[in-house]
Structure 1
Amino acid sequence: MDDDLETLSREQLLDEVKRLRAGIRAHRDATGHDLCWHHPQLWELLPETVDPEIAVPPWPKFLRGCVRYRESLDRQRPDAEIMDQEFPG
């Protein structure tokens, strides 16, 4: 799957690492309501193009997952700034 890496020069490999790091940083640095969104741009960093078939839970289970995710942030980052804004939408 990653055979293309074998043919890249050192400079091309460095460019690829920088591109991947930029994508990871963009995802890592998401904040506020952006934490909740589907991020297919991460998948687009890979050389193979696929249209992943995603499955979503029904609304009540989905919302319980959102609550658990937010609770995990309280445990993992109790020092995180609170951004008290409604989603503009």
Structure 2
Amino acid sequence: MDLDQDLDGLDRDALLAEAKRLRAGIRAHRDSTGHDLCWHHPALWGLLPEPIAPEVAVPPWPVFLRGCVRYREALERELPAAPAHDREYEERDRQGP
């Protein structure tokens, strides 16, 4: 099954528009900062033509939290000069692509 067959019939202008739409979504995700780094991203996945599977498996809390700690440790190694975002999470702060 070709997941990208929807692109086959598009002309140049439509392909450019699609590339720009996808780049905008990728940039929005890339430019996430603060608490948005640790979030479920259905808007990003929604850029794909196939529907998002509703069955998202989540680990139990202790396993999930260990994964969050490992992710934060990786950020510390890979982006050691990143400025601190020392704010508590609030729902109204949530932004998406």
- TM-score bracket for this pair, using the shorter chain length: over 0.9
Answering whether residue 51 of structure 2 is matched by residue 49 of structure 1, we say yes
> Residue 84 of structure 1 aligns to which amino acid in structure 2?
D
- State the TM-score, normalized to the length of structure 2: 0.86
Which runs of no fewer than 5 residues in structure 2 stay unpaired? 92-97
- State the TM-score, normalized to the length of structure 1: 0.94
Q: 2:62 aligns with which of 57, 60, 63?
A: 60
Higher relative contact order (CA 8 A, sep 6+): 2
> Residue 43 of structure 1 aligns to which amino acid in structure 2?
W
Answering whether residue 20 of structure 2 is matched by residue 18 of structure 1, we say yes
Q: Which consecutive aligned stretches of 4+ in structure 1 deviate over 6 angstroms post-superposition? A: none
For residue 50 of structure 1, report the CA deviation from its aligned partner: 3.4
For residue 7 of structure 1, report the CA deviation from its aligned partner: 0.5
Alpha-carbon distance between aligned partners in 2 of 1:69 and 1:88, rounded to the nearest angstrom: 20
Please name the residue that 1:69 is paired with. 71
- Post-superposition Cα deviations, 1:14-37, rounded to whole Å, max 9, x if no partner, equal 000000000000000000001111
Answering whether residue 4 of structure 2 is matched by residue 6 of structure 1, we say no
Q: How many residues align?
A: 89
